[in-house]
Amino acid sequence: MGMTMTQKILAAHAGLDQVVPGQLISAKLDIVLGNDITTPVAINEFTKNGFTEVFDKDRIAIVLDHFVPNKDIKAAQQSKQCREFSCQHCISHFYDVGKMGIEHALLPEQGIVTAGDCIIGADSHTCTYGALGAFSTGVGSTDMAAGMATGTAWFKVPAAIRFHLSGRLPKNCSGKDVILTIIGMIGVDGALYKSMEFTGPGVASLSMDDRLCICNMAIEAGAKNGIFPVDHVTMAYMEGRCKRQPVIFTADEDASYEKTVEIDLSKIVPTVACPHLPENTRPAAELGNIKIDQVVIGSCTNGRMEDMEAAYRTLKGQTVAPGVRCIIIPATMAIYRECVERGYVTAFIDAGAVVSTPTCGPCLGGYMGILAQGERCIATTNRNFVGRMGHVDSEVYLASPATAAASALTGCITTPKEV
């Protein structure tokens, strides 16, 4: 029986010729990732279990991105613990204030992850790296500790769902609209412990930023991972960037999928996930009477350069609606710098927005944009659960950067223009 992309990567890292869905395997890891919230727990487990050395200082990445610069004493203590561990073990890929970025934007940008990798991260959105043709998935901090010590992890080989993409996106739509549409179709448990594998002629029309966004939110459909085939777009992105040689895996023609879902990209419309689940999606055009208090454009889902470009095209020369707080967060320092050099930051400030150093802060209700009781936010983040961004009686609407920026100008959820 043929294997999917994910199954081939797992088989190779387990040293096996063949794997099947449901099989338990031990696989070698290319990268083990943690952040300032999850790494301290992993360090404690690492120490408690008597480990004294990491398996490979060049294959561990620790990124301080959630509460950095530190928001309070607890955050400062967590960051200090990460710094000390990274210094003790000479961790090559340690990112702190001034060099850090939101982890799932930073690792691809820095070439730390590449095609064919097997990656775990103590953060659920580690599935982002499937955009590069890698197997990547989120794990708990205990698994991160074991991975740092042994360079291996146990997996149950997932079955797969194929999403066959055709057509091209309309100009006012992006990868965020694609994944929200898919989650609306299949639900938050529609791909539970499955591999979401994206195929078809429509893939070629999606940018790398689109693909990173789509894979990032595979977990919101319950998936173990999301993955795209490696094509000219992937190779162009990796060229001169990746620190290790990419390994390209392709699905067998007779690979088995539980089902195939057809997606015509030309039919996608600007889409919003309403409270309190990512599956609660509706076209933005149907929500124009919903007043908002805050806009957040950023996160590991939508803080990349194309997202900043979409916000700039909409906000340039315009003014944020009275009573609306618009917060824009470039996902890495490199993206922040490019926004400065292109004049985007000036345009954002002139429009009445604030621009932050890279942080995950508002996405998880940590800082830099907490919601009060009764407030509504339209955000380019990935989750809109009860109390996700603040008070349990606040509301979060998930949308693309174009939709979020358009809404900032009107004060209500607004469909972006085609630009």
The separation between the first and the last C-alpha atoms of the chain, rounded to the nearest angstrom, is 46
Is residue 128 domain-shared with residue 236, that is, in the same domain?
yes
Burial class (CB in 10 A: 0-12, 13-18, 19+), 328: buried
- Orientation angle between helical segments 39-48 and 141-150, nearest 10 degrees: 60
- The model's pTM is 0.95
Q: Check if the beta carbon of residue 317 is closer than 8 Å to that of residue 346.
A: no
In the chain, the number of structural domains is 2
Domain extent, residue 259, equals 5-264
Is residue 238 domain-shared with residue 319, that is, in the same domain?
no
Is residue 364 domain-shared with residue 403, that is, in the same domain?
yes
Q: How many residues does the chain have?
A: 419
User: For each of the chain's 419 residues, which pLDDT tens digit applies?
Assistant: 799 999 999 999 999 999 999 999 999 999 999 999 999 999 999 999 999 999 999 999 999 999 999 999 999 999 999 999 999 999 999 999 999 899 999 999 999 999 999 999 999 999 999 999 999 999 999 999 999 999 999 999 999 999 999 999 999 999 999 999 999 999 999 999 999 999 999 999 999 999 999 999 999 999 999 999 999 999 999 999 998 999 999 999 999 999 999 999 999 999 999 999 999 999 999 997 899 999 999 999 999 999 999 999 999 999 999 999 999 999 999 999 999 999 999 999 999 999 999 999 999 999 999 999 999 999 999 999 999 999 999 999 999 999 999 999 999 999 988 65
Residue 328's contacts (CB-CB under 8 Å, 6 or more residues apart) are 297, 298, 308, 311, 348, 353, 354, 355, 356
CATH number of the domain residue 25 falls in: 3.30.499.10
Residue 232: Cβ within 10 Å count:
8
The residue from 264, 290, 314 where one domain ends is 264
Is residue 212 domain-shared with residue 276, that is, in the same domain?
no
Task: Please tell me the predicted confidence (pLDDT) of residue 417.
Answer: 82
Is residue 318 domain-shared with residue 335, that is, in the same domain?
yes
